[in-house]
Amino acid sequence: MTEISFKKGTSCEPVTDEHLEEAEEFFDEFIGGKRFPNALIELLKKNNGGTPVQKFFKTPTNEHPIREFLNLSFDDTIILHESNNIFSSWEFYQDRFNNPNLVPIADTRFGDVIVLDYEGTPKNDPRVALWFHECDENGVNSHPLEPIAENMESFLSMLTADFEE
């Protein structure tokens, strides 16, 4: 697995088996039994969310910086709509996503959300996509989803500390 470093002091308490059991219960109840990909579980076990050092990735249309990976902490404080927790973020975005197959895992500095996209994929190996928060004058996302990588492992391997030329 690709090693991702995090800025000191930005991660939450270590992920426990209890966190992972809660995640499974969440998926069973709300998302049809889907599971986190192993690469994300390993990342969360090493750093429960936080600001990655290798934060830049490219899509076919642009370059993007990750602000932070979301965490599995259950003590997360929500200020306005901002939460660093995967479950709280999912609750906030589920209606805006307008797609029950999307689970937020990180966000960008520009307010867009990196999601696991389970539509048409194995239940534990979803693709990774970027959901854009901008809407047109009618409140409809004109370009709501852009594919990033075929799976989480591929996504992590494309992250860099700087934009590469």
pLDDT tens digits for 65-108? 999 999 998 665 544 455 688 988 898 888 888 788 999 999 99
pLDDT of 141 reads 57
What pLDDT, on a 0 to 100 scale, did the predictor assign at position 132? Answer: 87
Summary mean pLDDT of the chain: 86
- Strand residue runs (E) in 84-144: 102-108, 113-117, 127-131
Tell me if 94 is assigned to some domain: yes
Q: What integer pLDDT is reported at residue 92 of this predicted model?
A: 86
When mean pLDDT is compared across 14-18, 76-80, 106-110, 131-135, the lowest value belongs to 76-80
Determine the structural domain holding residue 31 and report its residue range: 17-158
d(CA 13, CA 85): 12
Q: Which residues contact 32 (CB under 8 A, 6 or more apart)?
A: 100, 123
Query: Total structural domains in the chain?
Result: 1
pLDDT digits (tens, 9 = 90+) for 23-50: 889 888 888 888 999 999 999 999 999 9
Q: Is there a domain that residue 10 lies in?
A: no
Query: Domain containing 47 — which CATH number?
Result: 3.40.1580
pTM for the predicted model, two decimal places? 0.89
More confident residue, 5 or 76: 5
Phi, psi of 150, rounded to the nearest 5 degrees? -70, -25
